[in-house]
Chain A
Amino acid sequence: MKALGKGSIAAIVEAGLGITRIVLWALIGLWAAAFLAYLAFVGLISTGALNPSLAELGNGQNLHIRILGSDGAAIDNVQWTDWHLIVPALLIAGVGIGGALIIVTQLRLMFLSFRSGEPFRRENANHLRVIWITMVAIELSRYVLMGLTAALLYQVQDPSVSAISLSLDGERLSTWGSILILIVLAEVFREGARLKEEQELTI
């Protein structure tokens, strides 16, 4: 399979990145609308403008939210008014979607450069650097928001939560491993771009 041109791997990946970018923009729009709607909803209930019974889903059904990742404690019977659970969850989702959009945008820019025939450029090293910094920011903000959730749960003293734990499981370690690989690749790319620039400016 050829590297460039119609039907090449690059063309397929670029099309995939384009579609992903559109989907992520749509998700950001939905997320922003949901976040604002939720804040307005909670605000109206707390001021008494809305009846609190509207927060119940009917027939005894409630939201089911699993926090702290795959191995985290499951918290059942969450009401719409449990802002201390829903707001951090929405923020974690927002950071994830926003970060994914930044990463996909940078990857797309790198692919455009690759298709133009000049992949070893300083800009591409910068794109890689933005990608790993974004990944670090997403991971750290997850920890901060999880900690915030735990603090809020402790303050509210939610009876459905018996224990809160933060752990570095295999999934998270692989994320940090990927970040490390990206850091190395970004620096290798930067050095490659520098050498190419030097070669071009050798007379």
Chain B
Amino acid sequence: MAIRVTLDRILLERRMSLTDLSERVGVTLANLSILKTGKAKAIRFSTLNPANC
């Protein structure tokens, strides 16, 4: 099953910028940009759960 990234739509619905999201979740702007554009190939465990890694 293909994984679809709808981050841009969610950001638009919540009227939130990528910078705001980056500050709230602790993921760098560059990484969020890769995720948003659908270029991401994989996600590290440390990104998914930064507190435990």
Contacts and interface: CB of A to CB of B under 8 A. Distances in A.
A201 B41 CA distance: 5
Most chain B CB neighbours (cut-off 10 Å) among A197, A198, A201: A201
Tell me whether chain A's interface is mostly helix, strand or loop, or mixed.
mixed
A202 B39 contact: no
A201 B40 CA distance: 5
Contacts, number: 23
B29 to A, nearest CB: 11
A115 to B, nearest CB: 25
B19 interface: no
Interface residues of A, number: 5
Interface in B13-53: 27, 31-32, 34-35, 39-44, 47
Interface of B: 27, 31-32, 34-35, 39-44, 47
| In the complex, the 10 A-B pairs of residues with the closest C-beta atoms, listed nearest first | A203-B31, A201-B41, A202-B42, A198-B41, A201-B39, A203-B40, A203-B34, A203-B47, A201-B40, A203-B43
Interface of A: 197-198, 201-203
23 contacts: A197-B41, A198-B41, A198-B42, A201-B34, A201-B39, A201-B40, A201-B41, A201-B42, A202-B40, A202-B41, A202-B42, A202-B43, A202-B44, A203-B27, A203-B31, A203-B32, A203-B34, A203-B35, A203-B40, A203-B42, A203-B43, A203-B44, A203-B47
